[in-house]
Structure 1
Amino acid sequence: MSSSTSAVLRPQQNRDTAFFWEGTAAGELRVQTCNACGTLRHPPGPSCPECLALDRGHVVVSGRGTVFSYVVHRHPPVPGKELPILIALVELEEGPRMLGELVDVADDEVEIGMPVQVELRRVDDDLTLPTWRRA
């Protein structure tokens, strides 16, 4: 692993999130679904927050959404990133909300309700991160 990718903060991957990271590596944005009641949820977890069932699956979503909220991260420094960083809470067309970096947009251009599209950025052989860009 090169020093440029080893400096990147890496998300936790476990049995609850494996499907998500396998999806990003395959070029898909996946959201967990409850096989019992159909509820979509993110972040993924072991049981459904609606019906408490443990029967979970996933669906591939469109990757389209709108900015629900955002922050401009100016400090402290983040390994592997240049400040400022825009972090958006995106409401997906399918309903769930997902956090991620908003790229190629100036911090004074971001607006609540702005349409965005996911872009899956490959960091290295083991990590592909979802980022968001203006649609």
Structure 2
Amino acid sequence: MSGPSSREVATYSDKYFVKTRAIVERFGDVRVTYAVFMRRPVLCTPMLAIGWLRDIARERGVEFDIRLLHEEGGWVGAGEPMMYIEGPFRELSDLETIFLQKLGPPCVAAFNAYTMCTDLPYVGFLAMDARH
């Protein structure tokens, strides 16, 4: 697994989510569905984050139902759901910080690389090859 293990999650998660988990443990669990989206247009590159989430689920002995709405590399508009994740609130609530850290940067980097490549045909440059 790449990233924090289940027992390390609380160290790296926002305290809000750690406290949410404690509240749910105290007052009772429910099944929830997360709609995962980015606030800006991106390309869908979820496998690093999903792989980590599946590893955590295995460690915790639970199952998360993950439904991707876009293919790997597909365009996702700002605010548009990329996927739905369903599972016990107790087991999902403290994972949000790390999950989004594993999801956001690759999606944004892929989008930036794509737009840079599509702009390259219109960019002039001067080759400065070695002269020896």
> Please, what TM-score do these two structures have when normalized by structure 2?
0.26
Structure number with greater CO (CA < 8 Å, separation at least 6) is: 2
Query: Which of 1 and 2 has greater Rg?
Result: 2
